[in-house]
């Protein structure tokens, strides 16, 4: 892979990663050379985006899924032999795509787990409200008949609504704090993606 081709490759990945505003690339027919000054890309702007971790995570989740290329398909492509650099880049792209997919999957599992637990609390709250309404109606009917309801009767006991009056444990389980194992899995993929990004930024700066 030539330097200019590699530069174009990493420029494309950098643009996709951060969703920079579309910039103009001037191609020269004889060498496909990129004019980075006219493209408005500088090392300062790269690190400015890199420091904003919140934006980084949002872009990682919204970035388009890169085409996966397995080692078998790379080695089996006899019709278009490539250089070692080409194969290495394809393998790295495959590994990165797997890590991105793993991060999305871990985030989705954590989010779905919390969502299911909250749905359980809501369902329990709905049932509790129904029983409380039925209890109140029963009390009114007894009082209409002129009967006395003892103070220790269960009819006076208001059932707690878990979705509106959660216990401390239910509060924890309704957030990420209640699932440390899933958080560790998500953070592991996040750290690997950060390392991939650091490598891309360094290579981009060298090529520019």
Write the DSSP string, 47-108: HHHHH-HHHHHHHHHHSPPPPP--HHHHHH-TTS---HHHHHHHHHHHHHHHHHHHHHHHHH
Which pLDDT does position 198 carry in this prediction?
55
Q: Which residue has the higher pLDDT, 161 or 8?
A: 161
Across the chain, mean pLDDT equals 69
Which residues, at least 6 apart from 152, have a Cβ–Cβ distance to it below 8 Å? none
Residues above pLDDT 70, as percent of the chain:
54
Which pLDDT does position 133 carry in this prediction?
95
Residue 41 in contact with residue 208, Cβ under 8 Å?
yes
Residue 113 in contact with residue 186, Cβ under 8 Å?
no
Least reliable range by pLDDT among 65-69, 134-138, 143-147, 156-160: 65-69
Tell me the C-alpha to C-alpha distance, in Å, between residue 184 and each of 30, 173, 181: 50, 16, 5
Helix and strand element counts for the chain (H, E): 8, 0
Q: How confident is the model at residue 70 (pLDDT cuts 50, 70, 90)?
A: very low
Residues 20-31, mean pLDDT to the nearest whole number: 34
Q: How many CA atoms lie within 13 A of 36 on its CB side?
A: 18
Which residues, at least 6 apart from 33, have a Cβ–Cβ distance to it below 8 Å? 4, 27
Query: Structure tokens of 200?
Result: 């891309």
Specify the pTM. Answer: 0.50
């Amino acid at each position: 892979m030539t330097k200019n081709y590699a530069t174009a490759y990493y420029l494309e990945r950098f643009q996709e990663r951060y969703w920079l505003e579309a910039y103009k690339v001037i191609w020269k027919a004889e060498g496909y050379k990129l004019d980075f000054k006219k493209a408005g890309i500088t090392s300062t702007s790269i690190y400015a985006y890199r420091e904003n971790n919140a934006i980084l995570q949002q872009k990682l989740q919204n970035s388009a899924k890169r085409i996966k290329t397995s080692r078998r398909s790379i080695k089996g492509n006899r019709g278009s032999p490539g250089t070692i650099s080409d194969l290495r880049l394809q393998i790295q792209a495959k590994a990165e795509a797997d890590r991105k997919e793993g991060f999305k999957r871990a985030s989705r599992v954590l989010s779905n787990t919390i969502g299911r637990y909250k749905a359980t609390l809501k369902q329990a709250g709905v049932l509790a409200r129904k029983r409380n309404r039925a209890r109140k109606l029963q009390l009114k009917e007894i009082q209409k008949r002129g009967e006395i309801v003892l103070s220790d009767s269960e009819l006076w006991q208001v059932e707690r609504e878990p979705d509106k009056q959660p216990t401390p444990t239910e509060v924890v389980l309704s957030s990420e704090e209640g699932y440390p194992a899933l958080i560790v899995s998500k953070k592991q993929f996040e750290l690997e993606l950060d390392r991939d990004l650091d490598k891309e930024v360094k290579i981009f700066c060298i090529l520019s």
